[in-house]
């Protein structure tokens, strides 16, 4: 049975308990400032393989290594460019993942057999305390079944992974609510592979112009970083994106309609939900809302296309992938 331990601070005995599980090759779900991660010893290939099995994660999708700081990150790469130093100085600890050429010490399974490794220093005191207690980088993708909703609370982890994880550290709701920004520094030009809480403008202010990748990696192809598949972050309910103020005329079944700023007139049977015209607030709330709608038994979720603009980029990315059709 999976244990759930509340954790109050960096000196909580639960952290050492979790560190013992990880040192023994087990799995521990823990909070970060973005979403809950499913952690394993990142330098233990057998432990990392358990992450893939628990999530049903394809071997073509690499995992992020979470480190306690710059010195630990440098030990995992073959190159540490000036741009990496500048960005780590500014945004670490924080929701920015850097993709860099991997050192030989990084197991192939972590990299999905690719040449690069994704690294992040989380801005959450429990996550950092756990990394320090283990004394090793932690491989930690989101603590949920592959392609499904990311967890922002401990109960989301428990519902998704059931008994596939030995221990869940319950640190309450996460702060950012969306996964980290992923920036690839391994090529000729810096390139954002996944938008997140750190915007392109914030990155460009430090290192100059960055490219933005907005495609989708086909099923079976190797991804250079997580979050690049066509379908990802999906609720159990069928999520459909509709035009603003489109309404929900002619729909049947248990349907929720989510609008931004204002709601159109809706049939009495449709459950209306109003979100603010505030990208940061919506990002923080998005996954929790979709979890709630799944828990309430809604069959369809009609959500208006979020506004344009850079501040909404991460929300648009998550909703585009969450509403993509399942592969055959």
Task: State how far the Cα of 206 lies from the Cα of 222, in Å rounded to an integer.
Answer: 30
Q: Which residue's structure tokens are 């204002």?
A: 262
Report the pLDDT value the prediction gives residue 327, as an integer from 0 to 100.
57
Task: State how far the Cα of 239 lies from the Cα of 244, in Å rounded to an integer.
Answer: 15
Least confident segment among 18-22, 95-99, 246-250, 309-313:
246-250
State pLDDT tens for residues 135-194: 999 999 999 999 899 999 999 999 999 999 999 999 999 999 999 999 999 999 999 999
| Chain-centre distance for alpha carbon 266 | 33
The beta-strand segments (E) located in the chain are 3-6, 28-30, 37-41, 64-66, 96-101, 116-120, 138-139, 167-170, 181-184, 191-194, 211-212, 238-242, 255-260, 271-275, 300-304
Q: How confident is the model at residue 328 (pLDDT cuts 50, 70, 90)?
A: very low
Cα dihedral 271→276→278→281 (10° resolution): -60
Report the pLDDT value the prediction gives residue 216, as an integer from 0 to 100.
82
Q: Yes or no: say if 36 and 142 are a contact pair by the CB < 8 Å rule.
A: yes
CATH of span 3-212: 3.90.870.10
State pLDDT tens for residues 18-53: 999 999 999 999 999 999 999 999 999 999 999 999
Q: Which two tokens stand for residue 159?
A: 């519902």
Q: Which two tokens stand for residue 302?
A: 């009609």
State pLDDT tens for residues 255-283: 999 999 999 999 999 999 999 999 999 99
Q: In whole angstroms, how far apart are CA 211 and each of 24, 119, 188, 204?
A: 41, 19, 11, 10
Sheet holding 28-30, edge to edge: 3-6, 167-170, 28-30, 37-41, 138-139, 64-66, 116-120, 96-101, 181-184, 191-194, 211-212
Cite the residue boundaries of each domain of the chain with CATH code 3.90.870.10.
3-212
């Amino acid at each position: 049975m999976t244990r759930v331990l509340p954790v109050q601070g960096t000196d909580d005995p639960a952290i050492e308990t979790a560190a013992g599980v990880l040192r023994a090759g087990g799995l521990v779900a823990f909070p970060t400032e973005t979403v809950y991660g499913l952690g394993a010893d990142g330098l233990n290939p057998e432990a990392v393989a358990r992450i893939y099995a628990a999530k049903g994660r394809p071997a073509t999708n690499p995992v992020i290594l979470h480190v306690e700081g710059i010195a630990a990150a440098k030990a995992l790469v073959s190159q540490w460019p000036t741009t990496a130093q500048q960005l780590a100085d500014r945004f670490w600890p924080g929701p920015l993942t850097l993709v860099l050429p991997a050192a030989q010490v990084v197991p192939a399974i972590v990299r999905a057999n690719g040449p690069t490794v994704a690294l992040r220093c989380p801005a959450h005191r429990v996550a950092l305390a756990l990394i320090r207690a283990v004394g090793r980088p932690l491989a930690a993708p989101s603590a949920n079944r592959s392609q499904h909703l990311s967890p922002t609370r401990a109960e989301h982890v428990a519902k998704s992974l059931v008994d596939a994880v030995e221990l869940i550290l319950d640190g309450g709701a996460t702060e950012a609510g969306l996964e980290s920004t992923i920036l690839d520094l391994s090529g000729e030009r810096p390139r954002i592979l996944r938008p997140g809480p750190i915007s392109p403008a914030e990155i460009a202010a430090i290192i100059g112009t960055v490219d933005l990748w907005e495609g989708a990696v086909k099923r079976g192809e190797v991804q250079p970083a997580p979050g690049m598949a066509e379908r990802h972050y999906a609720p159990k309910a069928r999520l459909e994106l509709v035009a603003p103020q489109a309404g929900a005329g002619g729909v049947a079944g248990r349907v929720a309609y989510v609008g931004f700023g204002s709601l159109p007139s809706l049939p009495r049977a449709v459950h209306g939900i109003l979100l603010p015209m505030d990208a940061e607030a919506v990002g923080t709330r998005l996954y929790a809302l979709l979890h709630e709608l799944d828990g309430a038994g809604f069959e369809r979720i009609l959500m208006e296309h979020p506004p344009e603009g850079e501040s909404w980029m991460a929300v648009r990315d998550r909703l585009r992938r969450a509403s993509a059709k399942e592969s055959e």
